[in-house]
Amino acid sequence: MADKVLKCKDCSSEFIFSDGEQTFYKEKGFENEPQRCPDCRRARKQQRPSNKGGNSYFR
């Protein structure tokens, strides 16, 4: 597989979806390519509430 250039849906910057990342996604069974660049993914992840005490839904 060749590297792909994708466009972030949040900041519209272009980022590389490398051959290694594509292989990883395929191995994990992910069917969709990432829609956000690494910086926007990291920022979005930090915005989510922390659930360090476990998932209270199953208690």
pLDDT tens digits for 3-59?
999 999 999 999 999 999 999 999 999 999 999 999 999 999 999 887 666 565 655
Instruction: Give the domain ranges of the chain.
Output: 1-32
Radius of gyration of the chain, Cα coordinates, nearest whole angstrom: 15
pLDDT number for residue 59:
54
Q: Look up the pTM and report it.
A: 0.73
Q: Say which residues have a Cβ less than 8 Å from residue 24's Cβ, sequence separation at least 6.
A: none
* Residue bearing tokens 């956000």: 36
pLDDT number for residue 10:
97
